[in-house]
Amino acid sequence: MKYFGNLKVASKLALGFGVLLALLIASSSLAIYQSGQIQRQTDLQTRNNQQVKQLYAMRKVNFTNERMLRDVILSGSGNLASMVANVQAGRSEYAKAKAALDAIPTDAEGQNVRDQIEAMRGPAVAVHDRIIELVRRGDGAGAKALLFGEGQASMTAREKAVVEAIALQEEHNAASAAAVEHALASTRNVLISFALLAVAIGVLMAWAITRSLVGPLRKAMDVSRAIADGRFDVVSGARSRDETGQLL
């Protein structure tokens, strides 16, 4: 406090504003950093939602093709050409969704799930082609047995893999949402703390500066009154080295 009292008035004001400016810069830097963290988590959520969208599209095609194969068996070879065309269209739609999914970056766990889905696709397509071929030959019973046997097993395995992939992305979404909530709460608390600290320091600095100016000025007024009364033995008692101290 003695050091502060010896500072020039301009230095005291500069010190006070400097401390407040430092707090402002610190709080702004924190807000910018946390904003970047929130943006990163938001981008992750957007990417996860895009992956979930494509996974649901792939899942829909799997169900649709399964239903179409049942229709092929029930209708026989009469409508086989149109049914096969529908199955091929579904495969093209699946391929588009898969390409869109592969274009989205993912982590090692997500890539492993994608690889599992792709590994099951080849055998499932092969079973579907065999079912179509059996129907073309007129072997509806064989096609039905294959569909509800090996075909059903491959469909269940693919469905399980896709559901696991969707669950993984939803889990990542929940983690990102929690991270965003934590970042917002942390930023809010720290900014409030900085604001309260700035107010406290501002009040303290204002009190200290006012005290360092008003006290010596009062003494100067007392000395001037004593001199006006003809008393020249009054001691100012000035201890500070600032402008008011030099005046006394």
- pLDDT for 96: 93
Give the Cα separation of 243 and 248 in Å (integer): 9
What one-character DSSP code corresponds to residue 147? I
Give the Cα separation of 245 and 248 in Å (integer): 5
If you write DSSP's letter for every residue of 41-104 in order, what string do you get? HHHHHHHHHHHHHHHHHHHHHHHHHHHHHHHHHHHTTTTHHHHHHHHHHHHHHHHHHHHHHHTS
- Three-state DSSP state, 40: helix
Cβ distance 106 to 114 under 8 Å? yes
- pLDDT for 97: 92
In sequence order, which residues have a C-beta less than 8 Å from that of residue 191 and are 6 or more positions away? 27, 30, 31
Q: Is 235 left (phi over 0), alpha (psi -120 to 50) or beta?
A: beta
- List the chain residues with pLDDT less than 70: 1-10, 12, 76-78, 212-218, 220, 222-223, 226-248
pLDDT tens figures, 187-203: 888 788 878 887 887 78
Give the orientation angle of helix 108-136 with respect to helix 152-228, to 10 degrees: 150
pLDDT tens figures, 96-152: 999 999 998 888 888 898 898 888 888 888 888 888 888 888 888 888 888 888 888
**Among all chains, which residue has been given the structure tokens 């001037």?**
224
Give the Cα separation of 164 and 18 in Å (integer): 56
Show contacts of 10-19: CB within 8 Å, 24+ apart. Answer: 12/205, 12/208, 12/209, 12/212, 12/242, 13/209, 15/205, 16/202, 16/205, 16/206, 16/209, 19/201, 19/205
Answer yes or no: pTM beyond 0.95. Answer: no
Half-sphere exposure of 163 (CA within 13 A, CB side): 7
